[in-house]
Amino acid sequence: MKISDFLSPADVVIDMRIAQKELLLRDLARRAALNLGLEADYVSSELLKREEFGSTGMGRGVAVPHARLPMVREPYGIMTRLKQPIDFAAIDGEPVDLFFSVLLPATAGRDQLGALALVARKLRTPECLVQLRRARTESELYAAITR
C-alpha cells in the first residue's frame, strides 16, 4: 500500500487559516464527508471523540487525526498544512501545522492499519517534513507526501 492509494491530489490543502483544533477537525470532517457522501457532523463527532482518548499530535508540528467509521470501505486521507501552527495538545507540547487526517473502516484489516502506520512513518521522516513545509503549492505538498 502507498499513500497515493488513499490520498488524491484533490484532497491536499495548503496554507489553510484556522486557529482552533475543533474548527480544524470540523473542516476536515466537512471535506471528507462531502467526498465520501457522509454526514459532516457524524464524521466530525467521530474525529473529536478519538481526540478525547488522547491527542493525535505526534510531535514536531505533526498530527494524524483519524477515526474508524462503519460506512467507510477503504482508507481515505486529507493532507493539510496550516498557514500558522495551532495548539493541538501534541505530545511534545509544540504547535502543529501539518495534518494528515485518515478515515478507516470500522473493521480494520491489515491494509487499513497499514495506512495509518504508513502515514505515521512518513511524517516522522525529517526530510519529508522539510519538503512539506517548503512546498509552495498543493501539487508540491502532494508530491512530498507521496514520494
Place of cell 503549492: 137
Place of cell 475543533: 22
SS3 99: strand
CA 76/CA 84 separation, integer angstroms: 25
Give yes or no for a contact between 66 and 101, defined as CB atoms under 8 angstroms apart. Answer: yes
Alpha-carbon separation of residue 47 from 26, 29, 117 (angstroms) = 8, 8, 17
Which residue of the set 21, 26, 66, 81 is catalytic? 66
SS3 96: strand
Active site residue 103: no
- List residues with catalytic annotation: 66
